[in-house]
């Protein structure tokens, strides 16, 4: 198996000693994984990205150890709090094994081999995500602090999950030259001759881990897709912001009589059609539309086109706190547009992946917009995070979804 040889920077053997504010101490003790720049009141010396920082409390007792980032407002990402630890390959192996054990129902499944192996902060490895697609693992780095430790992560990943190939994805911040690393490179194995296909609840999906959004597929919506399947029988379904058609494929297996996938991306709609054909011969049941979701739904209303189920799963509208008000306005507008083309006694499914918009605010905005549109919703279910996307601190919660009947 071809393994890429990479010349990575070395971390300093000298640990950075830090003391932080009382508020930061309390946050660390309660399990918060970040120490911000303005929370540091004393620092022994400057360090490089990925160096280990040890945080002491007011009595100079050990409080936590984490990865230091001199160029980020999040100055330290906590790896272990309250109990001292030696951060090495063995430490990372224990973290990854614990995460894999946590996902035992997925790991041992014979009908699902696509899921999140490691969920960053929520699995004790802040800024590091690993997703599995059949025999391919995709590592995504959200912080350069992991670059010096990448070889160790590769070693323990190979031991815990023997993959045929490992792909590296980098966040926007890291896409500039980083020690010979680049987004979409193969750290292990080579590019396959045919597209990568994985299973989710027995359905087949193609994924492009080199160029696709996130790591190639939105694995976090797996359980919501299964909920849509159970509600779709005999219905016409519109899947808005469909990406590669996950909800559409599930709706088809659930017995939907017609499915429309709507997305602004032409390649995404092409992929949605391919995913549909991977699972069903009746491809005439599926229609793909490329266009702006707001404009297309408004046009459908003018044309009097109605659906018995409308699924709205947009990208994040609030990447920072100042964008929250705009996000709420967008969610309300989508609710009104969705209800405008939802037949009487139809089902509205609306999701948000904006962590800046909390669940209560999101669900309330939908109900307010529905009331303004003259449709009083009867809630069926509210859902949040799946097993492989656990949440261990408030800011880590981002996904929420409403299933409601609209008389």
Distance of alpha carbon 352 from alpha carbon 13, whole angstroms: 43
Residue 136 pairs in a beta bridge with 133, 165
Residue 158 class from Cβ within 10 Å (0-12 exposed, 13-18 middle, 19+ buried)? middle
- Contact (Cβ atoms closer than 8 angstroms) between residue 237 and residue 255: no
Q: Which of 99, 187, 353, 373 is catalytic?
A: 353
The conformational region for residue 120 under phi > 0 = left, psi -120 to 50 = alpha, else beta, is left
- Contact (Cβ atoms closer than 8 angstroms) between residue 378 and residue 405: yes
* Strand ranges across the sheet with 34-36: 34-36, 74-81, 62-68, 52-56, 16-20, 40-43
Query: For residue 322, what are the contacts with CB-CB under 8 A and spacing of at least 6?
Result: none
Distance of alpha carbon 400 from alpha carbon 225, whole angstroms: 13
Distances (CA, A) of 355 to 36, 191, 286, 362, 391: 18, 34, 32, 10, 12
To the query of whether residue 353 is one of the catalytic residues in this protein, the response is yes
Distance of alpha carbon 263 from alpha carbon 272, whole angstroms: 10
Residue with tokens 């601190």: 393
Q: Which residues are catalytic?
A: 353
């Amino acid at each position: 198996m071809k393994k890429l040889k990479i010349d990575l920077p070395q971390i300093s053997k000298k640990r950075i000693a830090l003391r932080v504010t009382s508020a930061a101490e309390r946050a660390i003790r309660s399990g918060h994984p970040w120490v911000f720049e303005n929370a540091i009141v004393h620092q022994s010396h400057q360090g490089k990205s990925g160096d280990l920082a040890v945080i002491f409390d007011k009595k100079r007792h050990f409080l936590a150890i984490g990865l230091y980032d001199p160029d980020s407002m999040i100055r330290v990402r906590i790896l272990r709090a309250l109990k001292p630890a030696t951060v090495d390959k063995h430490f990372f192996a224990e973290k990854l094994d614990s995460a894999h054990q946590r996902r035992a129902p997925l790991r041992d499944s014979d009908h699902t081999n696509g899921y999140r192996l490691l969920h960053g902060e929520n699995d004790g490895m802040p800024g590091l995500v690993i997703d599995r697609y059949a025999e391919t693992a995709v590592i995504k780095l959200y912080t350069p602090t992991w670059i010096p430790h990448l070889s160790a992560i590769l070693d323990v990943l190979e031991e815990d999950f023997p993959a045929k190939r490992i792909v590296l994805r980098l966040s926007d911040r890291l896409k500039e030259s980083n020690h010979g690393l680049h987004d979409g490179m193969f750290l292990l194995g080579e590019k396959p001759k045919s597209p990568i296909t994985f299973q989710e609840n027995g359905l087949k999906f193609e994924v492009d881990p080199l160029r696709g959004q996130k790591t190639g597929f939105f694995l976090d919506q797996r359980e919501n897709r299964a909920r849509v399947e159970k509600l779709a029988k005999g219905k016409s379904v519109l899947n808005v912001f469909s990406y590669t058609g996950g909800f559409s494929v599930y709706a088809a297996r659930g017995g939907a009589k017609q499915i429309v996938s709507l997305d602004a991306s032409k390649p995404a709609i092409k992929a949605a059609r391919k995913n549909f054909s991977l699972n069903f011969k009746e491809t005439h049941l599926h229609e793909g539309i490329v266009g702006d979701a707001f404009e297309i739904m408004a046009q459908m209303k003018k044309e009097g086109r109605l659906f018995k189920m409308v699924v709205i799963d947009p990208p994040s509208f609030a990447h920072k706190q100042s964008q929250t008000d705009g996000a709420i306005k967008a969610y309300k507008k989508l609710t009104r547009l969705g209800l405008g083309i939802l037949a009487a006694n139809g089902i509205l499914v609306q999701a948000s992946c904006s962590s800046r918009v909390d669940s209560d605010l999101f669900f309330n905005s939908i109900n307010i917009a529905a009331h303004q549109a003259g449709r009083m919703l009867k809630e069926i279910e509210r859902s949040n995070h799946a097993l492989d996307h656990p949440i261990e601190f408030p800011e880590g919660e981002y996904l929420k979804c409403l299933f409601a009947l609209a008389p």
